[in-house]
Structure 1
Amino acid sequence: MNAGPHNWTSFKEFHVNFQPDHNANTILIKPEFFNEVNDGARVTLTFHFWSGTQIAYHVTKTGSTVTGTTS
């Protein structure tokens, strides 16, 4: 099952659910994504980059708190 908005697809909308911050070298996952994640759910996000690199990141939402770790 896919998490977040439009759970019928694993692809999330760029700049609506996430966006890169090139200056900080980070990816911001926006509240719009987490508004539709079930409380207590552990979600695995896989980021695919033009270089071919893939990074898996695990997030867990508990109430209004979100924690995350890399694989």
Structure 2
Amino acid sequence: MSVKQRLEEIFRDVFEDDELEIYDEMSAKDIDDWDSLTHIQLILEIEKAFSVKFTIEEITKTRNVGEFIELLTSKINK
């Protein structure tokens, strides 16, 4: 399973939407239920699933799912 596929599963779980499909340009404005609390929940689930940790700076710099996948992939490959 690719990073993007696993990430999509996490998004579906957090947003309780089995048909949600992520794409590189997707951001919080594209999902109605994506607020600050679900953002934190999403980050925590991703950290747990991939055994990584993100800094506040890293999280605030990513503007969309594509940038987040790049960040996540760089952490996995360290």
Q: Using structure 1 for the length normalisation, give the TM-score.
A: 0.30
Q: Using structure 2 for the length normalisation, give the TM-score.
A: 0.29
Q: Which has the higher strand share?
A: 1
Higher relative contact order (CA 8 A, sep 6+): 2
